[in-house]
Chain A
Amino acid sequence: MNEIQYIGEHLWVGQLGFFAIFLAFVSALLAGLAYGIGVKKTDIEQKQWKLIGKIAFGVHSIAVFAAIGLIFHLMINRYYEYEYAWAHVSDDLPFRYIFSAFWEGQEGSFLLWIFWNAVLGLILMVRAKKWEMPVMAVVAMVQVCLVSMVLGLHFGADDVKFGVSPFVLLRDVHFAPIFNTATYLDGIKGTGLNPLLQNYWMTIHPPTLFLGFASTVVPFAYAIAGLWTKQYKEWIKAVMPWALFSGAILGTGILMGGAWAYEALSFGGYWAWDPVENASLVPWIIMVAGIHTALIARKTGYSIKSTYVFFILSFFMIVYSTFLTRSGILGETSVHAFTEMGLEWQLVGFLFVILLPPFILYFIHRKNIPAPDEEESLYSKEFWMFIGTIVLLFSSGLITATTSIPAVNAVLGTEFAPPENEVEHHNQFQLWIGVLVTILSGLTQFMRYKVTSMGVNYWKHFSTHLLGSAILAIAVGIPIMMASGIVAWQYWLLVISGWFAVFTNLDYFIFVLRGKVSISGSAVSHIGFGLLMIGVVFSGALKAALSDPFASEELSGILGGMNKQSNQNVLVPKGQTISLSDGYNVSYTKDWEDGNATYFELLFQKKDEQGNLVDEFTTTPNVLREKLPKGGFKFQSANPNTKHYLGRDIFTLAVPQWAFSTGSAEDEAKKDTSSWIEHQVAMGDTIYTKQHYVVFQKFNANALEHEGYSYKEGDIPVVAELTVHTINSNKVWRAKPLYYIRGNMQYTIPAELPELMLSFDFIKIIPEENKVVLKIKDRNPDKEYVVIQALQFPAINLVWIGSIMTMLGLLMGMWQRRAKKQALAEASDVENKEEEL
Chain B
Amino acid sequence: MKKIHIIGLVAIAIAIAALISIAGDASTYTDFDTALAQTDRNHQVVGHLSLDKAVVYEPEVDPNSFSFFMKDKNGKEQKVVCLKSKPQDFERSEQIVLTGRMRDQVFEAHDIQLKCPSKYKDEAIQNAEL
Contact = CB atoms under 8 A, between A and B. Distances in A.
A331 B116 CA distance: 8
Given A175-B127, A419-B25, A335 B18 contact: no
A420 B44 contact: yes
Contacts of A570: 63
Interface string A549-585: 0000000000000010011111100000000000000
Nearest to A783: B60
Contacts of B119: 87, 339, 341
B113 A335 contact: yes
Given A638-B88, A690-B63, 10 more contacts: A174-B130, A175-B127, A178-B130, A188-B130, A339-B119, A563-B110, A567-B64, A778-B61, A785-B59, A787-B85
A420 B99 contact: yes
Nearest to A657: B59
Interface string A140-172: 000000000000000000000000000000000
A397 B15 contact: yes
Interface string A633-646: 00111100000000
B57 A378 contact: no
7 contacts: A176-B130, A339-B119, A341-B119, A405-B26, A416-B29, A419-B26, A570-B63
B123 A174 contact: yes
B95 A332 contact: yes
Interface string A373-404: 00110100001000100100010011001100
B44 A566 contact: no
A341 B110 contact: no
Given A87-B119, A174-B126, A176-B130, A332 B11 contact: no
A628 to B, nearest CB: 15
Contacts of B126: 174, 191
B95 A425 contact: no
B22 interface: yes
A425 B85 contact: no
Contacts of A394: 11, 14-15, 18
B33 interface: no
Chain A interface extent, by class: 35 or more
A515 interface: no
Nearest to A662: B55
Given A331-B95, A415-B28, A566-B110, A176 B127 contact: yes
Contacts of B58: 660, 671
B42 interface: yes
Interface residues of B, number: 53
Interface of B: 2-4, 7, 11, 14-15, 18-19, 21-22, 25-29, 42, 44, 46, 55, 57-65, 83-86, 88, 95, 97, 99, 110-111, 113-121, 123, 126-127, 129-130
B42 A420 contact: yes
Given A569-B85, A787-B85, A398 B64 contact: no
Contacts of B4: 375
- The 8 A-B residue pairs with the shortest CB-CB distance, nearest first, are A339-B118, A419-B25, A569-B63, A566-B83, A417-B44, A176-B127, A331-B115, A787-B63
Contacts of A635: 88
A635 B18 CA distance: 44
A797 B77 CA distance: 47
A402 B22 contact: yes
A278 to B, nearest CB: 13
A366 to B, nearest CB: 15
B120 A341 contact: yes
A405 B127 CA distance: 34
B128 to A, nearest CB: 9
Most interface-central of B60, B113, B121 (chain A CB within 10 A): B60
Contacts of A420: 25, 27, 42, 44, 99, 111
Contacts, number: 135
Nearest to A637: B88
A405 B7 CA distance: 28
A416 B28 contact: yes
Given A175-B123, A417-B44, A675 B130 contact: no
Contact of A332 (B42, B113, B121): B113
A395 to B, nearest CB: 11
Interface of A: 87, 173-176, 178, 187-188, 191, 328, 331-333, 335, 339-342, 375-376, 378, 383, 387, 390, 394, 397-398, 401-402, 405, 414-420, 425, 429, 563, 566-571, 635-638, 655, 657, 660, 662, 671, 674-675, 690, 778-781, 785, 787
A340 B116 CA distance: 12
B3 A376 contact: yes
Most interface-central of A188, A397, A567, A569 (chain B CB within 10 A): A569
A324 to B, nearest CB: 15
A390 B11 contact: yes
Contacts of B44: 417, 420
B2 A375 contact: yes
A544 to B, nearest CB: 15
B63 A339 contact: no
A662 B55 CA distance: 9
Contacts of B55: 662
Nearest to B42: A420
Contacts of A657: 59
B46 A332 contact: yes
A780 B18 CA distance: 52
Contacts of B110: 563, 566
Nearest to B97: A332
Contacts of B115: 331-332
Contacts of A566: 64-65, 83-84, 110
A415 B59 contact: no
Most interface-central of B22, B29, B57, B63 (chain A CB within 10 A): B63
B73 to A, nearest CB: 10
A638 B28 CA distance: 33
A728 B26 CA distance: 41
A140 B62 CA distance: 58
Given A398-B18, A420-B44, A781-B60, A425 B25 contact: yes
Given A375-B3, A429-B18, A417 B123 contact: no
Contacts of B99: 420
A662 B56 CA distance: 9
Nearest to B61: A675
B80 to A, nearest CB: 14
Nearest to A569: B63
Contacts of B113: 332-333, 335
Contact of B22 (A331, A387, A401, A637): A401
A633 to B, nearest CB: 14
Contacts of A187: 130
A660 B7 contact: no
A636 B29 CA distance: 31
A328 B63 contact: no
Contacts of B123: 174-175
Contacts of B114: 335
Contacts of A335: 113-114
Contact of B59 (A340, A401, A416, A571): A571
B7 A390 contact: yes
A185 to B, nearest CB: 12
A343 B3 CA distance: 45
A732 to B, nearest CB: 25
Nearest to A425: B25
A342 B4 CA distance: 45
Contacts of A405: 26
B86 A340 contact: no
A140 B19 CA distance: 38
Contacts of B83: 563, 566
A762 B58 CA distance: 25
Nearest to B118: A339
A637 B87 CA distance: 10
Nearest to B3: A375
A87 B99 CA distance: 33
Contact of A660 (B2, B86, B127): B86
Nearest to A335: B113
Contacts of B29: 415-417
